[in-house]
Amino acid sequence: MADFVGALDQGTTSTRFMIFDHGGNEVARHQLEHEQILPQAGWVEHNPTEIWERTRAVVQTTLNKANLHHDDLAAFGITNQRETTLVWNRRTGRPYYNAIVWQDTRTDRIASALERDGRGKTIRHRAGLPPATYFSAGKVQWIMENVDGVRDAAERGDAVFGNMDTWVLWNLTGGTDGGVHVTDVTNASRTMLMDLETLQWDDELLSFFGIPRQMLPEIKPSSAPDPYGVTRADGPLGGEVPLTGILGDQQAATVGQVCFSPGEAKNTYGTGNFLLLNTGEELVRSKAGMLTTVCYKFGDHPQVYALEGSIAVTGSAVQWLRDQLGIISGAAQSENLARQVEDNGGVYFVPAFSGLFAPYWRSDARGAIVGLSRFNTNAHLARATLESICYQSKDVVEAMREDSGVSLDVLKVDGGVTANELCMQMQADILGVPVSRPVVAETTALGAAYAAGLAVGFWNTTDELRQNWNEDKRWLPTWGEEQREKGYAGWKKAVERTYGWVDVD
Ligand SMILES: Nc1ncnc2c1ncn2[C@@H]1O[C@H](COP(=O)(O)OP(=O)(O)O)[C@@H](O)[C@H]1O
Ligand SMILES: O=P(O)(O)OC[C@H](O)CO
């Protein structure tokens, strides 16, 4: 058996390829950003051709950096930004429209109609998701209604739908020349089209959005001993490697953090934040604004479910300070700027750029900075931005406790923002719970590598994977209860100020 496993992480801001050894250690990586296309307020798109080109480039460069070849890889795993929606022509390989990103709010009318006319109740029960702009089905409907020729092509069987896992897999396995059209259960569970119990596309859900079944990829397990396909020899790997793992990126991070037992949770801090709690084989239906989602399904083993608190804007609020306001020149500088002041100076920033996701699900909310006085500076705003990441996480931890009865005794964290030591200290203070970061912070790619490697016997059991997890750093709470309650009360008041800002009806 080859000595390494490769994993592609096609994320919201960048695409990276990483190679891991048997101990779960990183051997090499390369990463490239892609353009965020913002055609109008609330719209976010990616160019799928650019994403495929970036994929080719990162795979080739990583192999070159490590001086490895395709036959050094026992398996290839894919993880991806979830929900982001693409429709392309299976004969020409050409996309009909840019990929509509999960953060995009153009489908707010579609989502609010679902809620008004009662279909939302069926979607909540069957798909485990609230009707919101976030998920794929409304985006497919929008493309069919607004892009010439797509509906006819879909009915003829020419136009196909996929999230980014499916797009990358289709291209890696051959594109118009034999590409496979497949997704995994975790990605399918984010479309609003899959029945969470049967793990199959559901005809009634499809009819809500007018989506013909032949547009959809085949749903497979997240770890597939019978491979989805092999990389084509004239592709970026230059040879055949079995493609045996696919996980949506947040489920991948849960696997990379070895949260294999019910009650174990992780919080990933990237463009947005995503807290997932493993609920085992039990499908827990949320009453507190969490999503029910498939956590993973390894081969023939029963599927494992999770409760998820999805937050749309966290790291991207830091990017906003950099790109739109220009008050920092890089994300890391947010820490230095925020350290210039002792506290938020009364300022709260609710970055509801895409409405509010969990646990509020308010598509009528928009961002607000409140509590300003003449005393405040950029440093207070930087601090309020980092605090907003932590307060939004507290909101979902509270909701999770309500749904599951689980009180976390430690929060496992990962993702780009966890490099920010001040933010992690604030998180421990605001939650009143220790925060723990692992040595291998790239848990998303690692989780996809684990799924792919388990399928081919590179790793044999989840217990073996647990041995690979080691703590890098732990932050302990320093605030008293009174300070914590006062700070949180201010946050809750600020959140209320964002409601009803846009009219979605
Ligand atoms: N030191 C830092 N402090 C605060 N935010 C950071 C820092 N470093 C990176 N980020 C934020 O982390 C995000 C990138 O994290 P990453 O895990 O790569 O995200 P994604 O997988 O969503 O592309 C960006 O939004 C960036 O603003
Ligand atoms: O690409 P990320 O890390 O921002 O994750 C995006 C999520 O999968 C959206 O649901």
> For the whole model, what pTM was predicted?
0.93
What was the pLDDT predicted at 503? Answer: 82
Q: Supply the pLDDT for residue 93.
A: 95
Of the pLDDT bands very low, low, confident and very high (cuts 50, 70, 90), residue 505 is: low
Q: What's the pLDDT score for residue 177?
A: 81
Which of ligand 1's atoms lies nearest the C-alpha of 9?
21
- The 10 Å Cβ neighbour count of residue 135 is 25
**Considering only CA atoms, which residue is closest to atom 20 of ligand 1?**
270
According to DSSP, the β-strands at 273-280 and 304-311 are antiparallel
Q: How far is the CA of 82 from the centre of ligand 2 (A)?
A: 6
Q: Which amino acid is at 400?
A: M
Q: How many CB atoms lie within 10 A of CB 291?
A: 26
Average pLDDT, the chain: 95
Alpha-carbon gap, residue 205 to 195, rounded angstroms: 9
Confidence of residue 300 (pLDDT cuts 50, 70, 90): very high
> 178: pLDDT confidence band, cut at 50, 70 and 90?
confident
Say if ligand 1 is within 6 A of residue 427 CB: no
Q: What count of other Cβ atoms lies within 10 Å of the Cβ of residue 425?
A: 18
Q: Whole-angstrom Cα distance, residue 416 to residue 424? A: 12
Between CA 152 and CA 207 the distance in angstroms is 16
Q: What is residue 408's predicted lDDT score, i.e. its pLDDT?
A: 86
The DSSP 8-state label assigned to residue 270 in this structure reads: S
CA–CA separation, 12 vs 7, rounded Å?
A: 16
CB of 81 closer than 6 A to ligand 2? yes
The letter for the amino acid at 42 is G
Atom of ligand 1 nearest to the CA of 269: 17
Give dist(CA 87, CA 108) in Å, integer.
20
- How far does the centroid of ligand 1 lie from the alpha carbon of residue 84, in Å? 19
Q: Give me Rg for the CA atoms of the chain.
A: 22
Q: How far is the CA of 326 from the centre of ligand 2 (A)?
A: 24
Report pLDDT digits (tens) over 215-247: 999 999 999 999 999 999 999 999 999 999 999
Q: Residue 180 corresponds to which tokens in the numbers above?
A: 């496979």
* pLDDT of res. 176: 82
Ligand 2 atom 9 nearest Cα: 82
- The response to whether residue 249 sits with its C-beta less than 6 Å from ligand 2 reads yes
SS3 100: strand
Ligand 2 atom at minimum distance from 248 CA: 8
Q: Please say if the pLDDT value at position 403 is more than 90.
A: no
Give the residue whose CA is nearest to atom 6 of ligand 1.
Answer: 417
Percent of the chain with pLDDT over 90: 92
Pick from 31, 318, 424 the residue to mutate for probing ligand 1's pocket: most ligand atoms within 8 Å of its CB. 318
| Phi, psi of 445, deg, nearest 5 | -60, -40
Q: Is the CB of 416 under 6 A from ligand 1?
A: yes
Dist. CA 258–CA 485, nearest whole Å: 32
Q: Rounded CA gap, 329 and 422, in Å?
A: 18
User: What contacts 468, CB < 8 A, 6 or more positions away?
Assistant: 23, 24, 258, 440
CA separation (Å) from 384 to 197, 204, 366, 371, 486?
41, 44, 16, 11, 15
Taking the C-alpha atoms of residue 472 and residue 408, their distance in angstroms, rounded to an integer, is 19
How confident is the model over 151-171, as pLDDT tens digits? 999 999 999 999 999 999 999
Contact 419 CB / ligand 1 (< 6 Å)? yes
**Separation CA 248–CA 251 (nearest Å):** 5
Which of 365, 356, 470, 476 shows the shortest CA–CA distance to 428? 476
Total count of residues recorded for the chain = 505
pLDDT at 440: 85
Q: Which among 99, 100, 224 has a CA at the least distance from the CA of 173?
A: 224
Closest CA to 405 of 288, 261, 254, 485: 288
Q: Averaged over 95-105, what is the pLDDT?
A: 96
Question: What's the CA-to-centroid distance between 11 and ligand 1, angstroms?
Answer: 11
**Which helix (H) or strand (E) covers residue 186, if one does?**
helix 185-188
* The token pair that represents 150 in the structure block: 């797509």
Those residues with Cβ within 8 angstroms of residue 26's Cβ, 6 or more apart along the chain or in another chain: 18, 19, 20, 440, 442
CB of 174 within 6 A of ligand 2: the answer is: no
User: From the CA of 252, which ligand is nearest?
Assistant: 2
Q: Place 485 in a pLDDT band, splitting at 50, 70 and 90.
A: very high
Q: Which atom of ligand 2 is nearest to the CA of 272?
A: 4
Percentage of the residues of the chain whose pLDDT score is greater than 70: 100
Q: Are 78 and 168 in contact (CB under 8 A)?
A: yes
What is the 270 CA–ligand 1 centroid distance (Å)? 5
Please, what's the largest Cα pairwise distance for the chain? 65
User: What is the 191 CA–ligand 2 centroid distance (Å)?
Assistant: 14
Whole-number Å distance, alpha carbon 271 to ligand 2 midpoint, is: 7
